[in-house]
Amino acid sequence: MKSRHKRMVFIVVGLAALAGAVGLIMNALQSNINHFFSPTEVHANAAPTDRSFRLGGLVEVDSVQREDDGLTVHFRVTDNAETVPVTYTGILPDLFREGEGVVAQGKITSDGVFMADEVLAKHDETYMPPEVAEALEKAELAKAEAANGATAVEPAAVQPAAQPQEGI
Amino acid sequence: MIPEIGHYALILALSMAIIQSVLPLIGAQQAKASWIAVARPAAQGQFAFVLVSFGCLTYAFITNDFSVQYAASHSNSQLPIEYRIAAVWGGHEGSLLLWALMLAGWTFAVSILSKNLPDEMVARVIGVLGLVSVGFLLFLLLTSNPFDRLIPAALDGRDLNPLLQDPGLIIHPPMLYMGYVGFSVAFAFAIAALLSGRLDAAWARWSRPWTTAAWCFLTIGIALGSWWAYYELGWGGWWFWDPVENASFMPWLIGTALIHSLAVTEKRGSFKNWTVLLAIIAFSMSLLGTFLVRSGVLTSVHAFATDPARGVYILGFLAVTIGGSLFLYAVRAPSVSKGGEFSMLSRETLLLSNNVLLVVACGTVLLGTLYPLLLDALDMGKISVGPPYFNSVFVPLMMPLLFLIGLAPFVRWKKANLGELARLLRWAFCVALVVALLLPFTMGEWHWMVSLSLLMAMWIIVTAMLGFIRRVKRGNGLKGISMSYYGMQIGHLGMAVFVIGVAMIGGYQTEKDVRMEIGDVTTVGGYTFRFDGVVEQAGPNYQATRGYIQVMKDGKNVMLMHPEKRIYNVQTMPMTEAAIDSGFTRDLYVSLGEPVSGGAWSVRIYHKPFVNWIWGGCALMALGGLFAICDRRYRIASRQRKEAEKRKMATANQGSSGDVTGTAAVAREAKA
Amino acid sequence: MVRYLKYLTPLVVFLVVVWFLGRGLYLNPREVPSPLVDKPAPVFSVADLHRPERQFSSEKMMGQVWILNVWASWCRACRDEHPLFVDLGRKNIVPIVGLNYKDQRGDALEWLRALGDPYVASAYDVDGRVGMDFGVYGVPETYVIDKQGIIRYKHIGPVTAKSLETKVVALVKELQQ
């Protein structure tokens, strides 16, 4: 009798602990996941404007500019279809280079500039972040479709979506 | 010729491993003494062959034999000799060979250090280890042969990744693998116990020192990896929660739970099923870590599309070994007897809470690591889970655990009295509270998080001291204290030191990214840094730009620091080499960014209070483990057992006296 | 029965995890069909690797089936697949053009000297612009381009003896008819 009672207490305490942990985890997952967006998706207004996300693509060639303070850097991230201007203050990773893959984490401002608070480059020469690779493939696909359907009705669907971004 | 010998030795090792697993396992099941006797020599033979194989590969690296494909891809004739040796495990094939060598080494150790154990048990343990060996050797030979030739030979090698050209990386992987692989011994003991049906306190006693040893290596391995990331990646962080780090941390969490649960099983005979399950999970986590890192499923694009064979093999191996073990568990566990009863407030309950917290913590790390993969597999978009998730989940889970560390050693087995505990510990708690509230003010600023962490750390330290004093008073001075008690307290103190380091870094580190022209001055953490320019310099296999930074305090020159920016000749990869001045209470950390304009550079300067306490704490934890392994009772107990076995043999009585001796030992222990 | 089910839980949980890992192996974006397949190959003209003063133009290849192999001397996987292209080059079935991607000229020439040069021509894409037009996101990659200059197949990563024979060579023979 007594041991059954004790067992119940154990189970209740265990379940309560489990529920607490699950709640904690779900809450943490909800608020701390970084979604990934490509420049094309950013232009299509798919990315959130009120919270931070990851932007990935290639650093556009000849786009890196440094301000006089030596720390603020401006560059453009491209997926070969669209580009997004990025501003970052701080020291860039060793393997940050023009024409190479990059992932930046931060928020987009109302004038369409991505303010990065973290810039990640790859770890070695042959590595490309998988998200970046996929973003490039997708953009390539969209571009090819657009080129293909130049005489058909297709491009209309692609173009206007990108338009309103400029106005906001 | 030498590489062919290495390849051949590997094949021989595989056949040896097959013998080592098949004969002893069947022999033990059917009580054939001659088959059981094969276990030890086969294990030693397998170790010898793997060692020869590893030696041959090392020889190829030392002599710059670039007709070996693997050497050509990971070494270079300009590479200094110590890195040429470290390059042996710098890539996929070599690190697997190192894995196999470590496994054979642990098996070898079991075969020579198990003289006191019943032969049948040893045969099963070695047999299970042999099965794991077979899996890894087959993996090497089928998908990742390090001895493949390159014809025609390369003129020179592709060089080792510059990030890996570092003293920390020479010893980090071997330590880490020693830990990973070490859990295979605990696993083998668990499986052997399930197979024989002899899941008792004696079993826990045998497997404890092995588990603790593996845990020590893993602790050191992880700490080295963290230390390496700190000074080599140039970011000054000590933990990034990246999948590769998590892969090594998960077995550590489960291993920590396991060494505590083994204590209960040994002393009280409780939690037997749970302990066995933990031993299986600890090893699964090691295998899972290998899978995550080696298959490239989480990190790289190309590694995998080109060669799914590797990932499929490891996954298959994982499924067979762990699936098989868990199946065996499901079959055997229901018939295992329950251990002693215990009340709500008892050391058993607290250790159970410790286990629950650690396992849940491991679960959250696993979830955070696999969640992106999971969503991707379900085609629900690409996400990443960053450090904020881990921090927000992990910290709340660890706080109660830290509290338990201070409390549990004072709580009696079976049933404790709350009032007595409160009387005993209230002053300790008050001291810890006062220190924790006041100490942050000496650092300038008060953060509640720092204060809370310090409270827990101080609580552990004060209670450890109290416990020690009580032991000295109660027993006959220092001599009456066992090594395992020292081990426990040192390990727990290590945890406290670690927590202090983490809290201080979290609350008080200062960092500054600045643009500095020659002669510019900036102040960080009470130190003044003056940039005196850069000088070009050639290293053995790289070109360096070496910065000169004069550090001053109170107007006096303290030291000159030299951060470097290196370009490695072969891979033309830039590397930031930070300059670090290590101290007991703080590190100064300076790294060069990029040249800006007119001789100016962007420079990153950190002041990191108590950062070394993080790794110091880990070292203390490992030291605690070492003390615990050295405890006399493992040797005495096994000697007594041996004598008991002999007596048993003499009377030619075939009864299963194992349980009897086991419980007798427990009874003695409980009385003491 | 319920008693036994409890002990089966770990096994079930484990099997679910394995299932996800297995899917993870295959479902990741590694086998995306290239969007450029069945589209005209980008036309390019860059310096020849062997003779810097001369240009290599892809228009020269019009009217025949050819293979474009993107490689670099710093790429480890290229070394793995290279002997297969050397073999293929000896058989004289199809012209192979090498696109040397983001490389140093000296390193690249040394590499070809050491490992063999199967290419009828080598284009030197020093800044990776041609690669970008082709949507190259890593080396090595291999393209099969038909007589009309249409990309008919793209292989990402190093080819194996099997994939070269069954996919690339088979397709080339079909296209040549």
Per domain, the residue ranges of chain C are 36-176
Query: Which pLDDT tens digit goes with each residue over B527-544?
Result: 999 999 899 998 888 889
Residues sharing a CB contact under 8 Å with residue B25, sequence separation 6 or more, in sequence order: B123, B124, B127, B128, B131, B195
Go through chain A and tell me how many residues it has.
Answer: 168
**What is the Cα Rg of chain C in Å?**
21
Partner-chain residue, chosen from A125, A140, A147, that has the shortest CB–CB distance to C74: A125
**Which has more confidence, C115 or B311?**
C115
Q: pLDDT at residue B445 above 90? A: no
Chain A residues inside the 8 Å CB shell of B344: 6, 9
- Strands, E, within chain C: which ranges? 45-47, 55-57, 66-71, 96-101, 121-125, 141-145, 151-156
Specify the pLDDT at position B56. 96
Specify the pLDDT at position B192. 95
Asked if the C-beta of B341 comes within 8 angstroms of chain A's C-beta atoms, the answer is: yes
Specify the pLDDT at position B496. 97
Specify the pLDDT at position A154. 28
Specify the pLDDT at position B641. 60
Residues sharing a CB contact under 8 Å with residue B366, sequence separation 6 or more, in sequence order: B246, B250
Per-residue confidence at A147, pLDDT binned at 50, 70, 90?
Answer: low
Highest mean pLDDT among B232-246, B251-265, B656-670, C36-50: B251-265
Long-range contact set of residues B480-484: C-beta below 8 Å, sequence gap at least 24: B482/B631, B482/B632, B482/B633, B483/B627, B483/B628, B483/B630, B483/B631, B483/B632, B484/B627, B484/B628, B484/B631, B484/B633
**Out of A72-81, B1-10, B416-425, which region has the weakest mean confidence (pLDDT)?**
A72-81
Partner-chain residue, chosen from C22, C76, C157, that has the shortest CB–CB distance to B305: C157
B327 contacts C28? CB cut-off 8 A: no
- Are both A22 and A80 inside the same structural domain? no
Chain B residues inside the 8 Å CB shell of A90: 513
- Report how far residue B128's alpha carbon sits from residue B194's, in angstroms, rounded to the nearest whole number: 12
Structure tokens at B236: 């000054």
C157 contacts B306? CB cut-off 8 A: yes
**Which has more confidence, B208 or B336?**
B208
Asked if the C-beta of B383 comes within 8 angstroms of chain C's C-beta atoms, the answer is: no
Which whole number is the average pLDDT over B594-623? Answer: 91
Specify the pLDDT at position B492. 96
- Pick the closest to residue B533 from B496, B513, B563 (CA basis): B563
Structure tokens at B575: 């590397």
**Which has more confidence, B422 or A158?**
B422
- Are both A94 and A138 inside the same structural domain? no
The answer for A 43-102 residues in CB contact with B (under 8 A) is 54, 66, 68-71, 89-92, 94-95
**Out of B94-108, B512-526, C12-26, which region has the weakest mean confidence (pLDDT)?**
C12-26
Which whole number is the average pLDDT over B641-653? Answer: 59
**Which has more confidence, A144 or B557?**
B557
- Are both A110 and A139 inside the same structural domain? no
Contact B305, B295 (CB under 8 A): no
- Are both A75 and A139 inside the same structural domain? no
Query: Which pLDDT tens digit goes with each residue over B61-85?
Result: 999 998 898 898 888 888 899 999 9
Chains that touch B (3 or more CB pairs under 8 A): A, C
Min Cα–Cα distance to chain B from A152, Å: 30
Q: What is the mean pLDDT of chain A?
A: 72
Q: pLDDT at residue B570 above 80? A: no
Specify the pLDDT at position A21. 76
Query: Which pLDDT tens digit goes with each residue over B148-178?
Result: 887 777 778 777 877 778 887 788 889 999 9
ipTM of model over 0.90: no
Residue A168 lies in a domain: no
Q: pLDDT at residue B659 above 50? A: no
Backbone phi, psi, residue B621, to 5°: -60, -45
Fold of C36-176: Glutaredoxin (3.40.30)
How many structural domains is chain A composed of? Answer: 3
Specify the pLDDT at position B283. 95
Chain B residues inside the 8 Å CB shell of C87: none
Which whole number is the average pLDDT over B226-230? Answer: 89
- Are both A106 and A150 inside the same structural domain? no
Per-residue confidence at B134, pLDDT binned at 50, 70, 90?
Answer: very high
Partner-chain residue, chosen from C29, C76, C77, that has the shortest CB–CB distance to A130: C29
Per-residue confidence at B450, pLDDT binned at 50, 70, 90?
Answer: very high
Domain CATH code at residue A88: 2.40.50.140
- Are both A82 and A110 inside the same structural domain? yes
**Which has more confidence, B405 or B198?**
B405
Q: pLDDT at residue B660 above 70? A: no
Domain that holds residue A153: 130-162
- Are both A57 and A116 inside the same structural domain? yes
Q: pLDDT at residue B293 above 70? A: yes
What is the amino acid identity at position B286? S
Q: What is the mean pLDDT of chain C?
A: 82
Q: What is the mean pLDDT of chain B?
A: 87
Residue A78 lies in a domain: yes
Q: pLDDT at residue B637 above 90? A: no
- Are both A41 and A109 inside the same structural domain? yes
Per-residue confidence at A155, pLDDT binned at 50, 70, 90?
Answer: very low
Specify the pLDDT at position A46. 81
Asked if the C-beta of B381 comes within 8 angstroms of chain C's C-beta atoms, the answer is: no
Highest mean pLDDT among A82-91, A124-133, B130-139, B471-480: B130-139
Which whole number is the average pLDDT over B401-430? Answer: 92
Per-residue confidence at A43, pLDDT binned at 50, 70, 90?
Answer: confident
- Are both A86 and A15 inside the same structural domain? no
The SS3 assignment for B514 reads strand
- Are both A153 and A78 inside the same structural domain? no
- Are both A60 and A104 inside the same structural domain? yes
- Are both A23 and A92 inside the same structural domain? no
Q: pLDDT at residue B90 above 50? A: yes
**Which has more confidence, A34 or B630?**
B630
Q: What separation, in Å, do the N-terminal and C-terminal C-alpha atoms of chain A show? A: 71
